[in-house]
C-alpha cells in the first residue's frame, strides 16, 4: 500500500505492521472490529453471537457466529499474525456442531447476544436483515450450507491447500487476509479475500457443484450397471433353462440392451431392460441407410403375417431421418424393483421365442436378396439403372 502525496506528485510506501507488534489481541481487538463492522469481510453479515460455546458435550467455543443474507450460518474464526495449522479442522468442527441448529435455537442465541448488547427483538432484527415481511417466513440454517470464514494476517500452506481442496468438494470456506498499515502513526486495517479469489469465486463454486452432480450421476450409473448385470445373468439363465439357444454365446452386460444374432449381419434380436419397461425388438442397423430402409419395407409388406406368427402387434419404426430402423414390442414394468424381475424375465423369454418365430424364416431369404439388390454404393439396383 502506498500513500499519494498530491503536492509532490509522488507515492510513499505505507508499512505493514504485525498485530502482535502493535499490541493488538485476537479477542479484544480483531474480533471486536469484525463484530462491530462485519461488512469488512466483503458482504452483509449479521453477527448473532461472540464466543459461542453452546455445543453439547464439549466446552469448545467459536469466535463469531453470523448469518448471511440467505439465512445460512457463518462460522468466523480469527487468528492474528499466523493462522496456525489447525484452524481449518477447528472451524469445520464448529460448522458441524452448528449444522443441527434450528431456527428457534438461532433466534434464542441471537436474543441472548442482543440482551447483553443494548437489547432488541432478535426475530424482528433477523427478518429485517433477510428482508422478510413476515417473521414466520424466516427459515435459518437450512440444509448443509453452513459456511466458514477464516481471518488472519498470514495463512500457512497446509491451511490454504486444505481450503482449496474443500472448495473443490463444495464446502464454502473463505480465507481473509487482515493487514494493519501504519502511515505516520495513523493505523489502517485492510481485509482482502485471498481464497477463493473474488473474481473466480462464482466459477469455483459452479465447478464444485458441477463435479458434485457428475459424481452423483456416476454413482447412479455404477448402481444401474450392477443392477443390469444381475438382471441379464438371470435372463440368460432362464433362456438356457427354457431351451432358447439364441443367446447361448452371449455374456451378461452392464448395458440396458442385449443382442443376439439373427443370421443377418447388422440385424440382431434385441432385449431391452429399463426402469419403465422391457422390450423385444428387431434392430435394423446395417452400414447402409438404403439397405436398412429397403429391409424394413420388405418386412413391413409382410406385417400381417409377421404379427400373426408373433401373436401381437409391433411398433414399426422406419425412422426416415435416421440411418437405422426398428421393429419393437414392449411391456411396462418397474424394472428397477427386483421383485418384478421374475415376471419380466418370464415375459422376455416368451417374447424372444416369438421374435425368432416371426422373423427367423423371413430374414434369411431377404439377406440373400440384399446381395443382388444392392451394389457397393449401397443403392438398390432399380435406382442405379435409373
Decide if 261 is inside a domain.
yes
Q: Identify the residue whose cell numbers are 450409473.
A: 221
Q: What is the CATH number of the domain that holds 143?
A: 3.40.1350.10
Q: Are residues 153 and 27 in the same domain?
A: yes
Characterise 57 by phi-psi region: left (phi > 0), alpha (psi -120 to 50), beta (else). Answer: left
C-alpha separations of 44 from 37, 52, 65, 92, 115 in Å: 9, 20, 14, 22, 22
- Same-domain pairing of 292 and 324: yes
Q: Give the domain extent around 138.
A: 2-196
Structural domain includes residue 202? no
Please, what is the Cα angle at 386 between 294 and 369, to 5 degrees? 35
Within a domain: 77: yes
Chain-centroid distance of CA 229 in Å reads 25
In a domain, 208, yes or no: no
Number of domains forming the structure of the chain = 2
Specify whether 374 is located in the same domain as 230.
Answer: yes
Of 38, 99, 100, which Cα lies nearest the Cα of 63? Answer: 38
Question: Do residues 233 and 114 both lie within one domain?
Answer: no
Scanning the chain, the segments in alpha helix (DSSP H) are 32-36, 87-98, 103-116, 122-129, 157-168, 198-241, 289-300, 303-310, 341-373, 381-385
Classify each residue of 247-268 as buried b or exposed e, where b means 16 or more C-beta atoms within 10 Å of its C-beta: beebebbeebbbbbebebeebb
Q: What is the DSSP letter of 44?
A: -
Q: State the cell numbers at 301.
A: 409388406
Can you tell me which residue has the cell 442405379? 384
CA dist 332 → 270, 276, 279, 320 (Å)? 17, 6, 9, 26
Identify the three-state secondary structure at position 63. strand
State residue 206's pLDDT score: 63
Angle among Cα 348, 350, 351 to the nearest 5 degrees reads 65
Which of 196, 228, 258 is at the close of a domain? Answer: 196
How far from the centroid of its chain's Cα atoms is residue 20's Cα? 45
Task: Give pLDDT, residue 225.
Answer: 87
Grid coordinates representing 221 are 450409473
Judged by DSSP in three states, 79 sits in coil
| Same domain membership, residue 154 and residue 289 | no
Of 196, 231, 264, the one marking the end of a domain is 196
* Strand order across the 315-317 sheet: 257-260, 269-273, 277-284, 325-332, 315-317
Residue from 129, 205, 200 nearest 170 by CA: 205
Element (H, E) at 327: strand 325-332
With H, G, I as helix, E, B as strand and everything else as coil, classify residue 322: coil
Residue in 285, 310, 304 with CA at minimum distance from that of residue 295: 285
Question: 184 and 221 in one domain?
Answer: no
Residue 201 lies in a domain: no
Same domain for 377 and 254:
yes
- Res 383: pLDDT: 37
User: Do the Cβ atoms of 172 and 145 come closer than 8 Å?
Assistant: yes
Report if residue 115 sits inside a domain: yes
Shared-domain flag, residues 372 and 313? yes
Chosen domain end from 132, 164, 196: 196
On whether both 12 and 160 belong to a single domain, the answer is yes
Q: Model pTM greater than 0.75? A: no
Residues 259 and 111 in one domain: no
CA gap 347, 48 in Å, rounded: 63
How many C-alpha atoms does 257 have within 13 Å on its Cβ side?
Answer: 11
Residues 59 and 180 both lie in one domain: yes
Residue 206 inside a domain? The answer is no
Note the pLDDT of residue 58: 76
Residues 294 and 150 placed together within one structural domain of the fold: no
d(CA 274, CA 330): 11
Q: Is residue 125 part of a domain?
A: yes
Binned average pLDDT, 10 residues per bin, the chain of 386 residues: 89 90 94 96 96 82 95 95 92 93 94 93 94 84 91 94 88 93 90 82 59 55 84 96 94 93 95 95 94 96 97 96 96 95 97 96 91 63 34
CA angle 167, 169, 175 (to 5 degrees): 15
- Per residue in 116-132, is it b (16+ CB within 10 Å) or e — as a string? eeeeeebbebbbebbee
Treating both helix axes as pointing N-terminal to C-terminal, what angle do 122-129 and 103-116 enclose, rounded to 10 degrees? 110
Amino acid at each position: 500500500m502506498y500513500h499519494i502525496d498530491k503536492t509532490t506528485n509522488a507515492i510513499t510506501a505505507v508499512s505493514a505492521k504485525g498485530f502482535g507488534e502493535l499490541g493488538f489481541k485476537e479477542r479484544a481487538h480483531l474480533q471486536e472490529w469484525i463484530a462491530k463492522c462485519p461488512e469488512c469481510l466483503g458482504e452483509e453479515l449479521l453477527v448473532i453471537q461472540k464466543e459461542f460455546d453452546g455445543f453439547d458435550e464439549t466446552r469448545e467455543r467459536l469466535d463469531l457466529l453470523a448469518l448471511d443474507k440467505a439465512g445460512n450460518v457463518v462460522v468466523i474464526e480469527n487468528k492474528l499474525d499466523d493462522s496456525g495449522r489447525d484452524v481449518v479442522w477447528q472451524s469445520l468442527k464448529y460448522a458441524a456442531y452448528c449444522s443441527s441448529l434450528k431456527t428457534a435455537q438461532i433466534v434464542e442465541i441471537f436474543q441472548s447476544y442482543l440482551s447483553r448488547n443494548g437489547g432488541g427483538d432478535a426475530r424482528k432484527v433477523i427478518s429485517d436483515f433477510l428482508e422478510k415481511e413476515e417473521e414466520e417466513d424466516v427459515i435459518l440454517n437450512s440444509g448443509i450450507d453452513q459456511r466458514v470464514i477464516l481471518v488472519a494476517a498470514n495463512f500457512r500452506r497446509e491451511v490454504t491447500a486444505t481450503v482449496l481442496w474443500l472448495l473443490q468438494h463444495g464446502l464454502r470456506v473463505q480465507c481473509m487476509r487482515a493487514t494493519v498499515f501504519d502511515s505516520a502513526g495513523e493505523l489502517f486495517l485492510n481485509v482482502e479475500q485471498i481464497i477463493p479469489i473474488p473474481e473466480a469465486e462464482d466459477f469455483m463454486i459452479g465447478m464444485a457443484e458441477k463435479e458434485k452432480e457428475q459424481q452423483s450421476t456416476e454413482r447412479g450409473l455404477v448402481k444401474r450397471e450392477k443392477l443390469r448385470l444381475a438382471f441379464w445373468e438371470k435372463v440368460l439363465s432362464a433362456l438356457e433353462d427354457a431351451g432358447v439357444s439364441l443367446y447361448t454365446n452371449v455374456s451378461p452386460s452392464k448395458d440396458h440392451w442385449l443382442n443376439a444374432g439373427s443370421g443377418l449381419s447388422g440385424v440382431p434380436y434385441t432385449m431391452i431392460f429399463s426402469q419403465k419397461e422391457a422390450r423385444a425388438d428387431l434392430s435394423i442397423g446395417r452400414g447402409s441407410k438404403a439397405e436398412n430402409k429397403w429391409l424394413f419395407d420388405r418386412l413391413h409388406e409382410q406385417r400381417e403375417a409377421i404379427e400373426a406368427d408373433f401373436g401381437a402387434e409391433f411398433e414399426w419404426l422406419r425412422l426416415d431421418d435416421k440411418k437405422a430402423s426398428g421393429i419393437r414390442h414392449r411391456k411396462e414394468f418397474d424394472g428397477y424393483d427386483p421383485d418384478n424381475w421374475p415376471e419380466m424375465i418370464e415375459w422376455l423369454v416368451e417374447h424372444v421365442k416369438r421374435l425368432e418365430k416371426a422373423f427367423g424364416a423371413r430374414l434369411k431369404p431377404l439377406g440373400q436378396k440384399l446381395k443382388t439388390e444392392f451394389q457397393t454404393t449401397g443403392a438398390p439396383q432399380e435406382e442405379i439403372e435409373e
